[in-house]
A and B are shown apart, each in its own frame.
Chain A
Amino acid sequence: MRVVVLGIGNTLLSDEGFGVHAVEALEKRYDMADEVEIIDGGTTGMELFGDIQEADHLVVVDAVRAGQPEGGIVRLTGDEVPAFFKTKLSPHQIGLSDVLAALRFAGSEPQSVVLIGVKPVSLDLSMELTPKVAACIDPVLAMVVEELTALGVAPTVRA
């Protein structure tokens, strides 16, 4: 089994980079099980095809607007994910939704896809998260750890 935790976002546009900052923190704080790979996807699209194709389960962390308050966290799963992406609420979703759809057409999409997202406060030019969104890193990491644990590939906290 192979599980991919994918952080996406643009780290030059403050909270837009949440997904990338989150997986960087994940990598720093935890040792992953052998089956788990953490990928900083940035805003790329097709480059991720191979990595996602080889994944049985995909956990995506991203900045998303899904009607929640600023700094609010959502968890979407299964069919909600591609459907959600189609409504284009995240600036770089076109890439990921295309990849997922192409994988479906090619007959090799992951068995499960979970998206954990935080609503951005600011998309201004900056390499830092706003305090409200930065405060979401801990609870989001706890959610990612919960997903991995449910898949039987729990990470361990680094000493």
Chain B
Amino acid sequence: MATRITIDPITRIEGHLRIDVEVENGKVSKSWSSGQMWRGVEQILLGRDPRDAWAITQRICGVCTTVHAITSVRSIESALDLEVPLNAQYIRNMIMTAHALHDHIVHFYHLSALDWVDVVSALKADPAKTAQLAESLSDWDGNSRHTFEDVKKRLATFVGSGQLGPFANGYWGHPAMKLTPEVNLLAVSHYLQALEIQRYCSKIVATLGSKSPHIQNMAVGGVSNPIATDSQSVLTIERLLLIKDLIDKLGSFIRNCYLVDVSAIGAFYSDWTAYGAGITDYLSMPDVPMDTKNTQFMMPGGYIKGGDLSTYKPIAGSHDPYWREGVAESVKHSWYNYSNGAGALHPWKGETNAHYTDFQDEGKYSWVKSPTFYGKPAQVGPLANVLCGVAAGHQPTIKYLNTVVDTVSSLAGTKIPLTALHSTIGRHAARAVRSGVIYEGLQANWQALMENIAKGDTKTFNRPTFPKGEVMGVGAHEAPRGVLSHWSVIKDGKISNYQAVVPTTWNAAPRNEDDHIGPYEAALLGNPVADPERPLEVLRTVHSFDPCLACAVHLTDTENKTVVQVKAL
């Protein structure tokens, strides 16, 4: 007899995701991923000036502000075939990579590490032994015995206050928690240090984006940052040098802390390389453009079939017909209807007509649409991105991946194969690897911007002109959670259709036109569940995707209808 578990909400951040699983003999046998909110930003955009879309789309989600802003201007530029000045590309790339680092660091340390780290157990740790262990792993300067003693004291006060805040409702003492008290203390210490480090990312974004947390400098055709070497009110060399200092500090944290911590946790939980693979068809987009035409990218992207890297097919950019023609969205199992009962629709023809039914196991059960690439669901995110990087022979990706694999292998005492990446823990590893790669991207774009300004180029903007008649565009971005695309149709200078196909739509997709399950659903099958009252293992797998539902789902009218059986904080 199967036990049904409903987890709602499942995220610690934005949004509203519900996961239902049936557990038989201690393992997940059936699963459903459901977005419980409706997002209709598409309707707000209809009839508006395409130049305003980015400022509106960056309000979709509080976690992914800048990524929607950038993807939106790319979409309109693509429709107009408008080139983007080099300086603007570099500035956008720096905002994008700094934002991505912020997202990855916060996801690992502040949102998901608590699935693996038993905070309360850290109170039993010996700070001296913790320091010994930490020093054997890296020469990070935040690893002194004194630091660990201080954190342990602080933690005792915090836990003693009874106000656990972000640690409330954690599954402390759960049998699936396996780290030693010392590793737990190490992780809690780095949790605090990461709080400081993530500020550096926000500062970079705020300096370049003129304002934080919502950037103000985006423009269709470039950025609105005037560059000057002699004025205080614009982007000056002095400000750029301050950014360089922050970039260096971020690099040190990623190399000496993040990559090491992920490796250590991965080694302790190497059994989790056997769970959570799910859909191993991977989709990623090339990003960090280094030319004005969006044809040369620092980071490759493409499609991999069945986890087999030899099947890798590169995607040349958002102009590539292989990408443009491959995407469609089904609503057979989503709370929408397409006109005339159409099957999956290409985003340019996409519709957003709500049709709520209630949660039907075999019918409609989610506000998330089900996107497919040539008819098949695809997993997106850092893992897809890293695997495509390896398949493409991308050296920075290979370098950071080798670092992680070597560290995990030596700590686990056994050689970890590349195939171990197709897993719950593999997604965390891939996110750390990608952080190394994008840190290098951030640094390279800083350098490129400085050199380009030194050449006397201060251009940041090409004025867009909108033709009579209809044009269509697509902007793509390899966002922190994976492929994000905005599809726009512009008629006589006004938006006539707009669809955002966001990373969490790909991963949290419900069953599609052919009733195939989506990536979350597939990844949950076979997951162990030791205690159905405390389904920590389910959370581990879903959190490993870094779910962000505010934008994946299309308003909250269902709040009274959900069955809250287990709450995850």
Query: Which A positions have Cβ atoms within 8 angstroms of B?
Result: 10-13, 40-51, 53, 82, 86, 91-92, 94-95, 97-98, 100-102, 104-107, 123-127
Contact = CB atoms under 8 A, between A and B. Distances in A.
A51 to B, nearest CB: 8
Greatest chain B CB density within 10 A among A43, A82, A100 is at: A43
17 contacts: A12-B56, A42-B65, A42-B214, A43-B550, A44-B62, A47-B102, A47-B205, A86-B168, A94-B13, A95-B13, A104-B158, A104-B163, A105-B155, A105-B166, A106-B192, A125-B40, A127-B44
Contacts of B43: 125
Interface residues of B, number: 38
Given A100-B165, A102-B110, 15 more contacts: A11-B59, A12-B59, A42-B59, A43-B14, A46-B106, A46-B110, A47-B102, A49-B199, A53-B199, A98-B13, A102-B195, A105-B154, A105-B192, A106-B195, A123-B555
Interface in B177-218: 192, 195, 198-199, 202-203, 205, 212-214
B157 to A, nearest CB: 9
A91 B156 CA distance: 31
Contact of A13 (B158, B192, B555): B555
B61 interface: yes
Contacts of A105: 154-155, 158, 165-166, 192
**A-B pairs, 5 with minimum CB distance:** A101-B165, A43-B62, A47-B213, A50-B199, A44-B62
B60 interface: yes
A124 B214 contact: no
Interface string B529-550: 0000000000000000000001
A41 B213 contact: yes
A95 B205 CA distance: 19
B192 A43 contact: no
Contacts of B168: 86
A48 B106 CA distance: 13
Interface of B: 12-14, 40-41, 43-44, 56, 59-63, 65, 102, 106, 110, 154-155, 158, 163-166, 168, 192, 195, 198-199, 202-203, 205, 212-214, 550, 555-556
Contact of A91 (B56, B65, B154, B556): B556
B41 A12 contact: yes
A50 B555 contact: no
Contacts of A101: 163-166
B151 to A, nearest CB: 10
B198 A46 contact: yes
Contact of B154 (A13, A45, A107): A107
B165 A104 contact: yes
Nearest to B40: A125
Nearest to B557: A123
B60 A12 contact: yes
A44 B213 contact: yes
A13 B41 CA distance: 9
Contacts of A125: 40-41, 43-44, 555
A7 to B, nearest CB: 11
